[in-house]
Amino acid sequence: MDLNGMHVVITGASRGVGAALAEAFAARGARLTLVARTVPALEDVAARTGGTAMPADLADPAQVDGLIGRIEASLGPVDVLVNNAGIDLTGAFIDMSMADIQRMVQLNAITVAVLTRQVLPGMIERGRGHIVQVSSLAGTGTFPGISVYGGTKSFVTHMTAGVRLELKGLPIGLTVVETGLITPTDMADSVLSYPPTRASFRRFYALGLLADADVHTVARKAVDAVERGKRTVRMPARAFLFPMLTNAPRRLVEMLLVGVPRR
């Protein structure tokens, strides 16, 4: 996809990966609609990238309901949706409040499904579009302290694989971004604040199986994936074995479904 002039919607765009994605898409000539709940930071990113700020708390179902329709009514059809918004509340599962668990599931999983469902009919009708799902290697193999977060990312990755099967043959691209810790970000600081999680990462670093991913490199690779129609962005490359093993059953099922009507 040639991104010049394309309308790109990015959630969680006020900081971290979302802000880096906004800068990377803007550098390719895209028109941006930026969604997040932190208004001053969101407006700052919009000013830097020439985008339009659309403040919303995406953990609130009422604000998510009809969001794509409202964006398209005022700013035109969405060509690319980047589901980046998410939170990680690190700690022992038994110590987490149900309110925190529900907020994580709502924002990281349900909102992703709802916005994907909202944007797809228009993309199918227009015969073009791309969706980027910012998942995580935690959806492949989790550590203590991030059990709920890892579960939400497993949902995103697995759901996207199923949606891809339903859209086979249509000019709609789906890219899943799976990374380890992305630095520097507030989420990385949150993850490493819980000693068992921090110790788990240190173990994998010592084994040479993980390395931190630079936020701007992740953003650039995600934008490249949209332009080239790539299915997956994984960082670090050294961790390829874990998602490859997890995705093997998905890819096998995909191959065995040859000839089965998708829609």
Q: Tell me the percentage of the chain whose pLDDT exceeds 70.
A: 99
Residue 64 inside a domain? The answer is: yes
In this prediction, residue 261 carries a pLDDT of 72
Whether the per-residue pLDDT at 15 is higher than 80: the answer is: yes
In the annotation, is 149 catalytic? Answer: yes
Residue 205 makes CB contacts below 8 A (sequence gap 6+) with: 211
Res. 263 pLDDT band, cuts 50 70 90: low
Res. 247 pLDDT band, cuts 50 70 90: confident
Q: What is the pLDDT of residues 73-115, one digit of tens each?
A: 999 999 999 999 999 999 999 999 999 999 999 999 999 999 9
Question: Which of 121-130, 181-190, 245-254 is predicted least confidently?
Answer: 181-190
User: How many domains is the chain partitioned into structurally?
Assistant: 1
Residue 44 inside a domain? The answer is: yes
Q: What is the pLDDT of residues 199-228, one digit of tens each?
A: 999 999 899 888 888 999 999 999 999 999
Q: What is the pTM of this model?
A: 0.94
In this prediction, residue 25 carries a pLDDT of 98
3 state DSSP class of 123: helix
Q: What is the pLDDT of residues 153-192, one digit of tens each?
A: 999 999 999 999 999 999 999 999 999 888 877 777 778 8
Residue 236 inside a domain? The answer is: yes
- Tell me the C-alpha distance between 161 and 149, whole Å: 19
Whether the per-residue pLDDT at 262 is higher than 90: the answer is: no
- Tell me the C-alpha distance between 123 and 81, whole Å: 10
Residue 263 inside a domain? The answer is: no
Residue 262 inside a domain? The answer is: no
Average pLDDT over residues 219-239: 94
Residue 1 inside a domain? The answer is: no
Residue 2 inside a domain? The answer is: no
* CATH code (residue 98): 3.40.50.720
Angle in degrees, 0-180, between the axes of helices 111-126 and 147-166, rounded to the nearest 10: 20
Exposed e or buried b per residue across 132-158, where buried means at least 16 C-beta atoms within 10 angstroms of its C-beta: bbbbbbbbbbbbebbbbbbbbbbbbbb
CB-CB contact of 11 with 84 (8 Å): yes
Residue 31 inside a domain? The answer is: yes
Residues spanned by the domain of 235: 7-256
In this prediction, residue 167 carries a pLDDT of 94
Catalytic entry in 45, 132, 146, 149: 149
Strand pairing report for 7-11 and 80-83: parallel
